[in-house]
Each structure stands twice: as C-alpha cells, then as structure tokens.
A and B are shown apart, each in its own frame.
Chain A
Amino acid sequence: MHDLDLAGGGSGDLAIDVAMMTRVEGEGSLRLRVRDGVVEEAHLEIFEAPRYFEQLVIGRTPDEVIDIVARICGICPVAYQMTAVHAFEHALHIPIDPQVRALRRLLYCGEWIESHALHIYLLHLPDFLGYASALELAKDHRSAVEAGLTLKKAGNRLVELIGGRAIHPVSVRVGGFSRTFRRSEITAIRGQLTEALDIAYQTVDLVAGLEPPAFHRDSRLVALRHPDEYPMNEGRIVSTDGLDIAATEWLTEFQESQVSWSHALQARDRAGRPYLLGPASRVTLAADQLHPLAASALAATGLADEIRTNPYRSIVARAIELVDATAEAIEIIDAYEPPDQAATPWQPGPGSAAWATEAPRGLIFHAYELDQNGLIRSACIVPPTSQNQAGIEADLASFAPQVLDLPRDQATHRIEQLVRSYDPCISCATHFLQLSVEDLS
C-alpha cells in the first residue's frame, strides 16, 4: 500500500517518512526532513537484515565463492559471478580463451536483457503511464507487457543456456566454464534474439516518447570504460569529472561506511562525495562504445544530454542498452567457435584479487585475499545499490521540494518514480515504499 500523509500546515517545515518493504528482496524506507522548503536530511533507511556473505565465503575455494556469491541476488547473479571469477583469474594470472571470454559476455548480455526488460516494462513503465502496477498496465496496454515478457524470456533463455539455469546459474568456473558448448547449442537461440532486437528498437521509441518530470542535476556519474567495447566484464573506472583508475583500484578512490539509518554500507568517494552508477552513467561515459545499432538508436532519440542530467530518463538509457546487449549477443553467437577446452587448468595459490564489472544496475566491485592454500582469507563485496544509495539520497533531497505542495497521490507517485529510476535492489541492498509526511513545525 502506498500512503502519503501530509500533516501540518504547509509552512515548508516537514518530515517525510517513506516506510515499507517486503521480505523477498529486502526491506527499507525513506525519511526526508524539510525546513523552509529545503531538505535538510534525506535518508534511505535499509533495515533488511545483514546477510553476511563476506563472512560466508571465508575459508572457501574460489570456485565455491563463485557459486555462493551468485546467491546474493536472483536478478543479477551473473554480475556477482563475473566479478568474482575475473578477480580470481586476474590475481592468479590465468589466461582465458577468447571464446570463453565471448561466452561470458554473452551470459552477461542475457542478464542485462532480462533485468532491463523486467524493469522497463513491468516496474517503471506503469509509473510513467499512470498505472499502479504492471497488472493494471496490462489491462490497457497488453501488447507492451507482452513485449516486455518476450524480451525477458529471451534474456532468461540466454542465461539458462550458458549458465545452466535461469536463476543462480552454476556453470561458471575459474578458468572458464564447467563444460564446452557446441555451436548448434549456441545458435539455437539466435532466432529468439532477432525477435528480441526488433522489440528492443520499439522499446527505445516507446520510452523516448515518455514525458519525464522536469528535474535536472549535475551528479557525479561513474562507470567502467573499455577502449574497444561497451563496458561489461572489463574496463577502467571513469567518471564524469575525470576519474580514470584501474578496475582493481576501486578502494583507492572509494570507501564504504556505516550510517546509523541503514544496515547496508554506503559508498562514497574518499572526499565524501556521493556518485551514481547504472545505465545512465554507462551511456554517458561510454556512448562511443555502444554497438552501432544502439548508438544510432541513441542518436535518434536526441536525449543523450538529458540522460546525463535527468534521472527519470534512465529508462531511455536502459532501453538503449537493451538494443546494445541484444545486438551484441547476436554477433557473439554468429562468431562463436567452441574453445578447445572448457576451462584453463590452474593452480590455487595466495594473492590479492580485485575486479569490477557492470551489473545491470551499475558497477559492482569485489576484493578477496587468498591464503597460502588459495582459500579465501577476507572478502569485500560492494554491490551497485550500496554505491548508489548516497547518490539517491542526494537526488531525493534536490527533488523533494518540487513535490511538497503537490496532492498526496502525486507526490507519492513522483518520489516512487524517481527511486525506481535507479532500479535499486535491497537484497543486494534495497526495496519500497510507503510514504508518510509529518509536520516538523
């Protein structure tokens, strides 16, 4: 239930409590305190119980870690697997067959397609079109929901094909995969992806035509950037204000800290500044590396600048990435030749492992210390929502004054719509939302 209680006399001194959550993916709330029309405090309160994954992996082998961290999230398990496996392979100097590399990118494309389709059509589009849920949306826009489900199914099938199952895939191993894939297995999905690509184009047209609330800010955007491809499994960490560091050096620029209002750690840069990750950051920082079909789709929207400054336009960035991931998946399939072996043999050993990849909702960082036996001695896992949390709070603080004078349903709607723009994940760190407002004066 969404409920906005606007108590008090409208003096501009207000406290807004957004409280709620479900058990499946996480529990959290939002608290805003406003004085004289200025938001003094915007807290994203995450009270999902701590999940202790960083402790659960202690003493485990790298291959065990890959399967364990996939359990952190049912929507983006590939992101956790890819980040961990690349960290270990980098630390242990394990060479990877180019076809294995391509297959991993294909696996990640599947997760992006599935996650973005779900978010665009079933979670965010109802906000833009004024529906309370995907179910309500489907009554009037059945074809849109069917399009979203078709895209999602294509992504799921890719993950299932390469990962062994659609949720919590099991095939990724240090050095490669648990088995090789015949060319016929891989090409069997091509037709489904071709259909998905057509729908992805239509998705861009659809979401580019949506009217977003007027809200512009100049946030610090952060993403991976690779010289030859759109960022996914590899790249350097860059930002809109000139940061350029290796993916392994996340800890030199950023840090996590505990805040009193959240069980999730919050990440900021070492100067204390918030930043934002995700499709809008990637499209802003790596537009020149988009697949040509996605690049032309972005150009046709004319919205590249707005994607950078208006978070409500993130739905367009997400749609552009649907085109990118689908088009690239088709190219990978067309070029695929089975590798000589499923995985490069390797020997366990000590070392420091760190890596960053791009989850559907933004950059994810892992760091591990391996002991003399090659077992995990310590782990640091930083999901995108933990990193976005402070940036979301900053955007809410900037945006909230615009809705304080609106009727309760409209204010609720705008706040929820803004928060959904970041596609947060509380069990990787967030969930929502019931809104109430109390008068401070």
Chain B
Amino acid sequence: MVAVEVLVCGSQDRGDDGAPIAIMGRLRERLPPDVQVRAVGQLDVDDLLSIPYGAGVVIVDAATGIDPGVIVDLALTGLIGQPDGVHPRSSHALTMPEVVGLAEMLRGRPLRGRIVAIGGAHFSLGSNFSRPVNASLEPLSEAIVKAVASVRPSAGPV
C-alpha cells in the first residue's frame, strides 16, 4: 500500500533543472518502503490522477523566482490559489498550478500534497549544477523527507 508518492520533475541535462533527479537515489534510501519515488520529468495531469485515493503526494521541482539554492515547501492548495499561477503563460504547456488544479477537479477532491522546490540559477544544456544548488542538495533531501512525513494520511492537516 502506497502511503505517499514523490513525483520528481526535471531533466538531467538542463543544468539546475536536474537537481531533483540527482537526489532520487539518496531519497529512496531515506524513505520508508510505503513511499514511492517516481521520476516524471514534466508533470502531467495523469501523474496526479494515478495517485491512490487517500495517499499523499510530494512534487519536487526546480524553480525560478527564488534565489538559487533556496528551498521552498508549499501546500498544493496554496499554489493553486496564486492568481498569477493559474493563467496560461505558455503557448503549448500548462502551468503546474493548472495541472494540479485540473487533477483535483477530475479526482473530485483536493490532493493531500506539497511541492518542494529549489531555486535554480541556470537551465541551459549541461549536467553541471550551479554552486548554490550543488550546496543545497542535502537540504533539499531533508526538506523532501519532512514534506513526506507531513502528507502521510496519518499526519494532521497539510
């Protein structure tokens, strides 16, 4: 029985975008067996629709808009509530709040989830991380472990 799914976004060959992928190995070592860690690359509605009802979810991604290396941990409900985030910015891709919102609507109930994001400095082709991101990989893992504990079905409000 899966209690929590960790959905890891990013691309290994796009600089700091690959930071979440880089820590997948150490995450699996730290997390209990009822937590499933899955690389999804680009988050899709289907990824969230496949979360078992009652299970929690933690989305891990790199982000801009925060300083490189800084880690933020947000409830998914707060993410959807941000007015800037729900408008289509891309000509051919949905924003993450839209993906989460659509999934919740189609599931018929809110997701019990959080997003843990690390600020990135560069997202161009290449597998090297910026110095701030490289220094924050361990704190990122710790933040994810903490977020996983908070979205367990047995935990309190997310």
Q: Which residues of A contact B (CB under 8 A)?
A: 1-2, 20-25, 49, 51-53, 56, 71, 74-75, 115, 118-119, 122-123, 126, 132-136, 138-139, 142, 145-146, 149, 153, 156, 167-168, 361, 419-420, 423-426, 430-432
Contacts and interface: CB of A to CB of B under 8 A. Distances in A.
B125 A122 contact: no
Q: Which 7 A-B pairs have the closest CB atoms?
A: A22-B89, A135-B101, A424-B91, A23-B64, A135-B98, A25-B90, A138-B105
Contacts of B106: 138, 142, 145-146, 149
Contact of A425 (B86, B89, B91): B91
Contacts of B86: 132-133, 135-136
B92 interface: yes
Interface string B30-67: 00000000000110111000000000000000001000
A49 B122 CA distance: 11
B41 A167 contact: yes
B13 interface: yes
Nearest to B93: A25
A378 to B, nearest CB: 19
B56 to A, nearest CB: 22
A423 B105 contact: no
A132 B125 contact: no
B98 A51 contact: no
Given A23-B64, A49-B124, A74-B42, A431 B102 contact: no
Contacts of A24: 90, 93
Contacts of A56: 125
Given A23-B123, A142-B105, A167-B42, A423 B91 contact: yes
Interface string B105-129: 1100000000000000001110000
A426 to B, nearest CB: 7
B124 A51 contact: yes
B131 interface: no
Given A135-B101, A145-B102, A74 B46 contact: no
B123 to A, nearest CB: 7
Contacts of B124: 49, 51
A426 B93 CA distance: 11
B107 to A, nearest CB: 12
A133 B92 contact: no
Nearest to B108: A142
B125 A74 contact: no
B29 interface: no
Contact of A2 (B87, B98, B102): B87
Given A23-B123, A145-B102, A71 B13 contact: yes
A126 B98 CA distance: 13
Contact of B89 (A149, A419, A431): A431
Contacts of A139: 105
6 contacts: A1-B83, A20-B89, A52-B125, A71-B11, A74-B42, A123-B94
Nearest to A118: B92
B139 interface: no
A74 B101 CA distance: 21
B88 interface: yes
B24 to A, nearest CB: 16
A1 B87 contact: yes
A168 B41 CA distance: 10
Contacts of A142: 105-106
Contact of A71 (B90, B92, B95, B125): B125
A142 B107 CA distance: 11
A115 B102 contact: no
B91 A134 contact: no
A118 B83 CA distance: 22
Given A126-B88, A156-B46, 12 more contacts: A1-B84, A23-B64, A25-B92, A25-B93, A74-B41, A122-B94, A122-B98, A123-B91, A133-B88, A135-B102, A145-B102, A424-B92
